């Protein structure tokens, strides 16, 4: 869990942090609409701090330029950060200009101007310090403080960027540092759903979710929020609301509030069913069953930057050999195969097998903590549809199964129905 050493400000009911992603600020019309959302929050009496991403497509354009001129991936280079951070700087300046044009006091802050200090891990920096004084002074003067997301500066004064999910992380860190009542994250969906609405038309928006639930959902592939920002929100107890920027302020619903388990009135056993595509499975057959063999395999993969999940080991041939299978991201499959094949003799397995035609389906719910029988019910629901389970992994509030990809929609619909999520809104 990422923990930034922020000095938590006392909670203030009149401070709101708002965050708008790349799609929400993708063109001038959309930036104008963002300004209307911000003005509406200000009109409700909030002191507002806004943080923005680069205009959609801009970061990719800049990254491509760095790759072209840097001769490949240079995302760990300080000059990469100097180039890429400019995208958020532009959006922040434009939003501040437009707010002022519409009669609202406002000013933009780049990461370093807001005092956001990071470590030296360029391209994937962690927030080291975020004081509240500059921003709070601006807000106390009646200004809307517009902060370029995704970036900060090292103690040597070089620009750094926070890597994937950096703008969400900036927003949550700002909310913690300013003691904001809430962090509103505007995106292109109007909240978090019980499952993918494209797959299950009667999926329901969740009015509330516990941090842990959102974390598990993010970790199995729900794209709404980055794991890192949810972890930070949980650590500092920042209430986060996910809502849509695609309509006008008056059309915006309540979204989904992500908060602590204690703050929630009641818990359902299962909150959401999350499908995850882009999975692959590797099986190693006939691995000698001697101590240290699995460690060797997974160290090899870790060193190659491959994350594995859902590891299953089963005995084979009178317990002198084992079969081992695990899942990984489809994009890492080729690299993992290559590494393992090179080490075939050292590891001593007989055969390697892989399968890209798999999908992971997870059921998540904080109520599972105190509720037995969820796994049994899940397996029964799938068995009734003759869906075969290849691997299983569980956490305290999540059960994931690996199934044949063709059955994904069927499984998701059956579980959504079977756990009562298609009925009344949760």
Residues in touch with its own copies (CB under 8 A): 28, 31-32, 62, 65-66, 68-71, 74, 77-80, 82-83, 86, 89-90, 92-98, 100-101, 106-108, 110, 113, 157-159
**Closest CB to its own copies among residues 33, 42:** 33
CB of 88 to its own copies, least distance (A): 10
Q: Is 71 annotated as a binding residue?
A: no
Q: Which residues contact 392 (CB under 8 A, 6 or more apart)?
A: 310, 312, 399, 400, 401, 402
Q: Is 419 annotated as a binding residue?
A: no
What residue has token string 């619903």? Answer: 253
**Closest CB to its own copies among residues 93, 249:** 93
Helix 28-43 and helix 86-101: axis angle, to 10°? 60
CB of 156 to its own copies, least distance (A): 10
Element (H, E) at 357: strand 351-364
Q: Is 187 annotated as a binding residue?
A: yes
**Closest CB to its own copies among residues 14, 27:** 27
Neighbour-count burial of 262, counting CB atoms closer than 10 A to its CB (0-12 exposed, 13-18 middle, 19+ buried)? exposed
Beta bridge partners of 403: 359
Q: In whole angstroms, how large is the CA radius of gyration of the chain? A: 23
Closest Cα partner for 192 from 174, 206, 180, 211?
Answer: 206
Q: Is 252 annotated as a binding residue?
A: no
Q: Cα-Cα-Cα-Cα dihedral of 288, 290, 292, 293, to 10°?
A: 10
CB of 28 to its own copies, least distance (A): 5
Q: Which residues contact 15 (CB under 8 A, 6 or more apart)?
A: 46, 47, 49, 139, 178, 179, 180, 181
CB of 173 to its own copies, least distance (A): 20
CB of 98 to its own copies, least distance (A): 4
Helix 166-178 and helix 133-140: axis angle, to 10°? 70
Q: Is 186 annotated as a binding residue?
A: no
- The Cα 194–Cα 304 span in angstroms is 35
**First vs last Cα of the chain: how many Å apart?**
28
**Closest CB to its own copies among residues 62, 124:** 62
Q: Is 22 annotated as a binding residue?
A: yes
Q: Is 223 annotated as a binding residue?
A: yes
CB of 92 to its own copies, least distance (A): 7
**Closest CB to its own copies among residues 81, 212:** 81
Q: Which residues contact 272 (CB under 8 A, 6 or more apart)?
A: 192, 193, 194, 195, 206, 213, 217, 222, 363, 364, 365, 421
Q: Is 292 annotated as a binding residue?
A: no
CB of 3 to its own copies, least distance (A): 29
Neighbour-count burial of 76, counting CB atoms closer than 10 A to its CB (0-12 exposed, 13-18 middle, 19+ buried)? exposed
DSSP string, 222-253: --SS-HHHHHHHHHHT--EEEEE-SS-GGG--
CB of 48 to its own copies, least distance (A): 16
Q: Is 164 annotated as a binding residue?
A: no
- Please compute, for residue 237, the number of CA atoms within 13 A of its CA located in the half-sphere on the CB side: 8
Q: Is 344 annotated as a binding residue?
A: no
Count how many residues are written for the chain.
426
Beta bridge partners of 288: 321
**Closest CB to its own copies among residues 113, 313:** 113
CB of 244 to its own copies, least distance (A): 22
Chain centroid, CA 345 distance in Å: 38
CB of 14 to its own copies, least distance (A): 25
Annotated binding site for substrate: 59, 88
Binding residues for ATP are 19-22, 187-188, 193, 198, 223-224
Known binding positions = 19-22, 59, 88, 187-188, 193, 198, 223-224
């Amino acid at each position: 869990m990422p923990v930034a050493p922020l000095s938590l400000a006392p909670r203030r009911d009149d401070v709101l942090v708002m965050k708008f992603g790349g799609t929400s600020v993708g063109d001038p019309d959309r930036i104008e609409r963002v300004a209307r959302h911000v003005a509406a929050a200000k009109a409700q009496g909030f002191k507002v701090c806004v943080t923005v991403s680069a205009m959609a497509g801009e970061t990719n354009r800049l990254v491509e330029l760095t790759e072209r001129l840097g001769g490949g991936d240079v995302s760990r280079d300080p000059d990469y950060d100097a180039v890429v951070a400019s995208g958020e700087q532009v959006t922040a300046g434009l939003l501040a200009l437009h707010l002022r044009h519409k009669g609202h006091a406002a000013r933009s802050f780049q990461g370093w101007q807001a005092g956001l200090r990071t470590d030296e891990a360029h391209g994937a920096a962690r927030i080291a310090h975020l004081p509240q004084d500059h921003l709070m002074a601006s807000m106390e003067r009646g200004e809307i403080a517009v902060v370029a997301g995704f970036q900060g500066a090292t103690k040597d004064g070089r620009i750094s960027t926070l890597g994937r999910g950096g703008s969400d992380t900036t927003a949550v860190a700002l909310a913690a540092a300013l003691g904001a009542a809430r962090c509103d994250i505007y995106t292109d969906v109007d909240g978090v759903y019980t499952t993918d609405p494209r797959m299950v038309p009667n999926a329901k928006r969740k009015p509330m979710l516990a941090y842990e639930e959102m974390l598990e959902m993010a970790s199995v592939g729900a794209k709404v929020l980055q794991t890192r920002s949810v972890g930070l929100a949980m650590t500092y107890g920042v209430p986060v609301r996910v809502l849509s920027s695609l309509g006008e302020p008056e059309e915006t619903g309540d979204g989904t509030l992500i908060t602590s388990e204690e703050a929630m009135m009641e818990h359902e056993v299962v909150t959401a069913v999350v499908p995850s595509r882009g999975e692959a499975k590797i099986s190693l057959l006939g691995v000698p069953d001697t101590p240290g063999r699995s460690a060797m395999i997974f160290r090899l993969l870790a060193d190659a930057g491959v994350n594995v999940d859902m590891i299953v080991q089963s005995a084979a041939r009178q317990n002198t050999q084992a079969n081992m299978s695990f899942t990984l991201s489809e994009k890492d499959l080729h690299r993992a195969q290559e590494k393992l094949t090179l080490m075939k003799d050292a590891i001593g397995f007989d055969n390697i097998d892989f399968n890209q035609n798999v999908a992971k389906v997870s059921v998540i719910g904080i109520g599972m903590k105190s509720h037995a029988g969820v796994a049994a019910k899940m397996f029964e629901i799938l068995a009734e549809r003759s869906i075969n389970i290849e691997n299983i992994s569980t956490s305290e509030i999540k059960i994931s199964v690996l199934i044949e990809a063709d059955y994904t929609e069927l499984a998701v619909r059956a579980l959504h129905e079977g756990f009562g999520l298609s009925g009344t809104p949760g």
